[in-house]
Amino acid sequence: MNGSVSSTRVIAITYRVLIRQLVSRGRLVALSLIGGVVALVGWAVGRAAHNEPWLTPEDVEQIRLNDAVTAVTNLGFTILVPIVALVFAAASLGDTREDGTLVYLWLRPMRRWAIVVGAWLAAITVSLPLTVIPMVASAYLLDAGTDLIIGTAIASVVGVIAYSALFVLLGLLVKNSIVWGLGYIVIWEGVVAAFGSAAAKVAMRGYTSSIVSERTGVEIDIGTLAQTTAIMVPIIVAGFALWLAAARLNNLEVA
């Protein structure tokens, strides 16, 4: 006889199915390459010489830290973290919607919010190592101290959590979600957020940059928020995005 499926079980089943679908050699290689480039840039910036005679050792250390924070926030939080999260999160349910396999999740007697959470967790599981490892490696190679490494790690995790939720929702809202997501990353996170601290508050990059800024003490135009706020707001946004995704899945017409 059939029984009801607990939400925990639904999350576990969805997670198991989708993680197998998400991991492909092509995706892993392409995104590892982007991560490798980020780490390489960290190494190059970390090796930059500051031999000007008027600079004191403290000046050189501060310049090195400023350069390192700029490299991490510009390259890591504008490109690597959102793009990796986009590729996996948008595909988690978006691909099933487009290829028709969503019917095997949707038609079962399972709670929709649990399906969404399972998809989100699958996306996070694949995205975290592909972002946190190269970001931490980059911070380490920048040779600008432990605070940068810790701040980068925390901000990367927070960024993946929030972006993944937003892009799971995007995958259920639009077709060709990768294109829409790239548009969002370039226009919103890249351009709009660069207009200063007020604009950065409506972009995830403002929060991830604030975590690094707060941790290292380096002032950034777009990173002016307190660390608690910079961590909590993206998590709240993630929760709201997942709630919207569950509502969307509930009302979706499945082909």
Q: By the criterion CB under 8 A, which residues form the site for another protein?
A: 1-5, 9-10, 13, 16-17, 20-21, 99-101, 103-111, 253-255
The nearest distance, CB 114 to another protein, in angstroms, is 11
Q: Which is nearer to another protein, 10 or 161 (CB)?
A: 10
Distance CA 235, CA 231 (A): 7
Q: Which is nearer to another protein, 20 or 47 (CB)?
A: 20
Tokens in use for 98?
């487009």
Provide the residue count of the chain: 255
The nearest distance, CB 102 to another protein, in angstroms, is 9
Q: Which is nearer to another protein, 105 or 231 (CB)?
A: 105
Distance CA 137, CA 40 (A): 9
The nearest distance, CB 7 to another protein, in angstroms, is 12
Total Cβ atoms within 10 A of residue 4? 9
Tokens in use for 150?
């810790």
Tokens in use for 130?
């592909």
The nearest distance, CB 91 to another protein, in angstroms, is 13
Distance CA 88, CA 171 (A): 10
CA angle 133, 185, 198 (to 5 degrees): 100
Q: Which is nearer to another protein, 87 or 136 (CB)?
A: 87
Residue 18 in contact with residue 122, Cβ under 8 Å?
A: yes
The nearest distance, CB 165 to another protein, in angstroms, is 23
The nearest distance, CB 168 to another protein, in angstroms, is 18
Tokens in use for 159?
């960024």
Q: Which is nearer to another protein, 29 or 107 (CB)?
A: 107
Q: Which is nearer to another protein, 81 or 105 (CB)?
A: 105
The nearest distance, CB 17 to another protein, in angstroms, is 6
Q: Which is nearer to another protein, 56 or 251 (CB)?
A: 251
Shortest CA distance to 84 belongs to which of 21, 119, 32, 43? 32
Q: Is 128 left (phi over 0), alpha (psi -120 to 50) or beta?
A: alpha
